[in-house]
């Protein structure tokens, strides 16, 4: 047997097996207990993108100073993150306090990723009429969708005003 040929075939098998592996990276998103609603929504949106790309997400909540006295505020924020991401993410490591940081690891849920995006159902509302303005003599604007008696009242009011 040719040793060079054996080494070549072995290298080809290793190369082929590396092609099929998926590189999962860890992305980190940092929060603070006093985060505003808009900032929170933006960070959750970024986490959603990371999970859609197949990355794991490490959520870190940093406490500073007297914030350490209220870790329940941090757990509320992490619960809100889980609630927002819902079926897209699953919790790998639940929230735990490590020094001044509370961390949690989320990973993409394979069941949710395999589901095809369902088309939005057709609207069941009846089509609405677009009212077209009608210009009358005395510069009163009404719409065609108004009842006839409303038109009569408008005409009477305008005649009384003259």
What tokens does 25 get? 């990276």
Q: Which residues contact 103 (CB under 8 A, 6 or more apart)?
A: 58, 59, 60, 61, 93, 95, 96
Do 56 and 92 touch, CB atoms closer than 8 A? Answer: yes
Q: Of all helices (H) and strands (E), which one includes residue 92?
A: strand 89-98
The per-residue pLDDT string of the chain (162 residues; one tens digit each, 9 = 90 and over) reads 789 999 999 999 999 888 877 777 899 999 999 999 999 999 999 999 999 988 999 999 999 999 989 899 999 999 999 999 888 899 988 889 999 999 999 999 876 655 444 444 455 555 555 555 555 555 454 444 444 555 555 565 555 656
What residue segments make up the domains of the chain, in order of their start? 22-113, 131-162
- Domain at 22-113, CATH from 3.40.50.970, 3.30.110.10, 2.70.98.60, 3.55.40.20: 3.30.110.10
Q: What Cα–Cα distance (Å) separates residue 76 from each residue in 39, 46, 56, 83, 152?
A: 16, 19, 21, 10, 59
């Amino acid at each position: 047997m040719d040793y060079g040929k054996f080494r070549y075939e072995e290298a080809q098998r290793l190369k082929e097996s590396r092609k099929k592996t998926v590189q999962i990276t860890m992305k980190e998103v940092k929060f603070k207990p006093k985060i505003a609603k808009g900032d929170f929504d933006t960070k959750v949106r970024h986490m959603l993108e990371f999970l859609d790309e197949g990355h794991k997400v490490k959520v870190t909540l940093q406490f500073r100073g007297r914030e350490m006295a209220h870790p329940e505020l941090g757990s509320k924020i992490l619960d809100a993150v889980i609630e927002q991401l819902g079926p897209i993410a699953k919790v790998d490591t639940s929230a735990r306090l490590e020094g001044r940081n509370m961390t949690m690891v989320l990973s993409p849920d394979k069941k949710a990723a395999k589901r095809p995006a369902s088309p939005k159902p057709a609207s069941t509302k009846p089509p609405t009429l677009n009212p077209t303005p009608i210009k009358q003599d005395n510069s009163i604007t009404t719409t065609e969708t108004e009842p006839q008696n409303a038109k009569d009242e408008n005409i009477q009011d305008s005649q009384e005003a003259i």
